[in-house]
């Protein structure tokens, strides 16, 4: 893992970790639009899958995750004709089941992160530690980024 810093700058690795988490949240939200066959969800999902694959590869050379995302991108690419409904993604409605499922995924993400890093002693300095092996710090920043994104989306709907 230390060899990665010779190729990819640390700032890009940390940004990829944060944006990779946000891409995951975007895919959760876009799933509803894909299910409803909304054309905008198709286009944005392609972009998010492609960028997510790049971020997965840059963050830790996580090629398994990158291969899955790029494979989903390639499989979704020829399906344009199935996404024919014109609608606004910002004004789509989520069913109670969608909201419960998204909430469960987010709660599981937070629980799993705190469970995985339970041996790491919490301190304020943890927020500002940047490094190849600082996954606990990256998890905390990603959690704040994801919930900030949801806060931003929620404020746009009001």
Q: Break the chain into its structural domains and give their ranges.
A: 4-157
Q: Which residues contact 117 (CB under 8 A, 6 or more apart)?
A: 135, 136, 139
pLDDT confidence of residue 77: 94
Please give the Cα distance from 38 to 54 (Å, whole number). Answer: 25
The whole-angstrom separation of Cα 119 and Cα 33 is 39
pLDDT at position 33 is 87
Average confidence (pLDDT) per 10 residues, the chain, 158 residues: 65 82 87 88 94 87 89 95 80 80 88 83 68 71 82 69
User: What pLDDT does 7 receive?
Assistant: 72
The pLDDT of residue 75: 96
> Rounded to an integer, what distance in angstroms lies between the CA atom of residue 38 and that of residue 86?
6
Torsion of CA 141, 142, 148, 153, to 10 degrees: 170
pLDDT of residue 50: 96
Let me know: does 32 contact 98? Beta carbons within 8 Å: yes
């Amino acid at each position: 893992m230390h060899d990665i810093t010779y190729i990819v700058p640390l700032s890009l690795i940390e940004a990829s970790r944060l944006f990779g988490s946000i891409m995951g949240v975007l895919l959760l939200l876009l799933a509803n639009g894909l299910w409803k066959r909304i054309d905008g969800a198709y286009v944005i999902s392609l972009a998010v899958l492609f960028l997510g694959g790049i971020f997965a590869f840059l963050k830790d050379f996580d090629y398994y995750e990158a291969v899955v995302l790029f494979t989903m991108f390639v499989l979704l690419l020829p399906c344009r004709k199935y996404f024919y409904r014109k609608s606004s993604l910002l004004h789509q409605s989520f069913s109670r089941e969608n909201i419960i499922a998204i909430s469960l995924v987010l709660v599981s993400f937070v629980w799993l992160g705190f469970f995985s890093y339970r041996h790491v002693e919490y301190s304020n300095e943890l927020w500002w530690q940047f490094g190849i092996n600082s996954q606990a710090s990256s998890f905390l920043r990603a959690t704040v980024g994801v919930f900030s994104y949801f806060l931003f989306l929620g404020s746009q709907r009001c």
